[in-house]
Amino acid sequence: MDTQDVHSSAPSTFDGTVLITGATQGLGLHLARDLAGRGATLLLHGRSRERLDRAAAEVRALSDGRAEVRTYLADLSDLDQVRSLAAEVRAAEPRLDVLVNNAVAGGGAQPRLRELSAQGHELRFAVNYLTPYLLIRELLPLLTASAPARVVQVASVGQSPVDFDDVMMERDYEGLEAYCRSKLAMIMSTFDLAAAGTPGSGVTFNALHPAHLMDTEGVRAYGLTPATSVEEGVRPTVRLITDPALAGVSGRYYDRFTDAAAHDQAYDPQARRRLAALTRELLGG
């Protein structure tokens, strides 16, 4: 099946409630624009109130004021704020049909600068892996109550194995390498979440690489030349969010529209057990 045929299977209307992290720019904002046009209720996350309000106003305007848009403010490099964000969503929202973990810390404008999260973890591991995992864990009761529901993990074709002897990359630090390790960790946990899902819970977990080197702030900040538009990444991501043909499909990694193989470490049971144990230790429980 070619790309156009796959894309055409996504419905033109979608009335579910979708939480998008990192929704003030790049892929997150473009997703919000697309889904607003389909009739979705949008929960937009950002870490800047000004940018968040601007994004919400833009999305509402594009739908001629018809889109229902609510905003949530949090710095996802702070796990305490992640927990607070989840608590706010649980308290305010009657349902959650889709969680899109899209927010990302890229390679950085100073790739040799090793940055830390609020809890002292390597920044990219924290934002790109620990935060999505924690957000899923905290919102899973709401997702389950809203089932059928979906979790869409925005990963990357750029994947490097996690070094369990130096997970926080205290030696030979490089931002893009940290990004690639964190994205593989995200994919590994996606597979585990799908495998551990309660039969009949109705919540699916899938990851995807949306497009190659999209024209985003993060790609340019690292010094890379964008190769595709952000719109190219919207189409495969919207498919995972809305396509009825993917109902019940879980534990997959997609390279755009193609059900693909991730890095070998994602299929290593011992590596996944080690990552799960480390995650429990770092997050508690």
* Inter-residue contact 140 to 203 (CB < 8 Å): yes
Residue 190's identity, in one-letter code, is T
Distance CA 36, CA 42 (A): 7
Catalytic residue check, 129: no
Distance CA 238, CA 236 (A): 6
Helices (H) and strands (E) in the chain, counts: 10, 8
Judging by beta carbons within 10 Å of its beta carbon (0-12, 13-18, 19+), is residue 249 exposed, middle or buried? middle
* Inter-residue contact 237 to 31 (CB < 8 Å): yes
Distance CA 42, CA 34 (A): 11
Catalytic residue, candidates 129, 179, 253, 254: 179
**Strands of 258-260's sheet, edge to edge?**
68-73, 41-46, 17-20, 98-101, 149-154, 203-209, 252-255, 258-260
Distance CA 214, CA 229 (A): 5
Judging by beta carbons within 10 Å of its beta carbon (0-12, 13-18, 19+), is residue 186 exposed, middle or buried? buried
Straight-line distance from the first to the last Cα atom of the chain, in angstroms, rounded to the nearest whole number: 43
Which residues carry out catalysis?
179
